[in-house]
Amino acid sequence: MPELPETETIARDLDGALRGAVVRSVRVARADVLRGAGPRALAARLSRRTVERVWRRAKSVVIAFDEGRRLVVTPRFTGTLLIGEPQEDAYTCLRLALADDRELRYRDVRRLGTVTLLDDRSFQEWSASLGPEPLDPGLTAERVSGILRGSRRAVKSILMDQRRLAGVGNIYANEACWLAGVRPARRGASLTHAECAQLLEELRGVLRASIAVRGTTFRDFRDAYGARGGFAAQLKVYGREGEPCARCGATLRATHAVEGRQTVWCPDRACQR
What would the DSSP string read from start to end of the chain?
Answer: ---HHHHHHHHHHHHHHHTT-BEEEEEES-GGGEESS-HHHHHHHHTT-BEEEEEEETTEEEEEEGGG-EEEEE-TTTEEEEEES----TTEEEEEEETTS-EEEEEESS--SEEEEE-HHHHHHHHHTS---TT-TT--HHHHHHHHHT--SBHHHHHH-TTTSSS--HHHHHHHHHHHT--TTSBGGG--HHHHHHHHHHHHHHHHHHHHTT---SSS---TTSPPPSGGGG-SSTT-TTSBPTTT-PBPEEESTTTTS-EEE---TTT--
Residue 133 counted as domain residue: no
Give the residue numbers spanning the domain of 102: 4-128
* Ordered mean pLDDT values, 10 residues apiece, the chain (273 residues): 95 98 97 95 97 98 96 96 94 98 97 97 98 98 98 98 98 98 98 98 98 95 97 97 98 95 96 96
User: What pLDDT score does 88 carry?
Assistant: 87
User: What pLDDT score does 57 carry?
Assistant: 98
Catalytic-residue membership of 261: yes
User: What pLDDT score does 46 carry?
Assistant: 97
Residue 226 counted as domain residue: yes
Kindly state whether residues 11 and 91 are assigned to the same domain: yes
Kindly state whether residues 256 and 157 are assigned to the same domain: yes
Of 95, 128, 161, which residue sits at a domain end? 128
Catalytic-residue membership of 39: no
User: What pLDDT score does 84 carry?
Assistant: 97
Kindly state whether residues 22 and 112 are assigned to the same domain: yes
User: What pLDDT score does 1 carry?
Assistant: 77
Residue 231 counted as domain residue: yes
What is the domain count for the chain? 2
Catalytic residue among 12, 59, 107, 164: 59
CATH number at residue 98: 3.20.190.10
Catalytic-residue membership of 3: yes
Catalytic-residue membership of 241: no
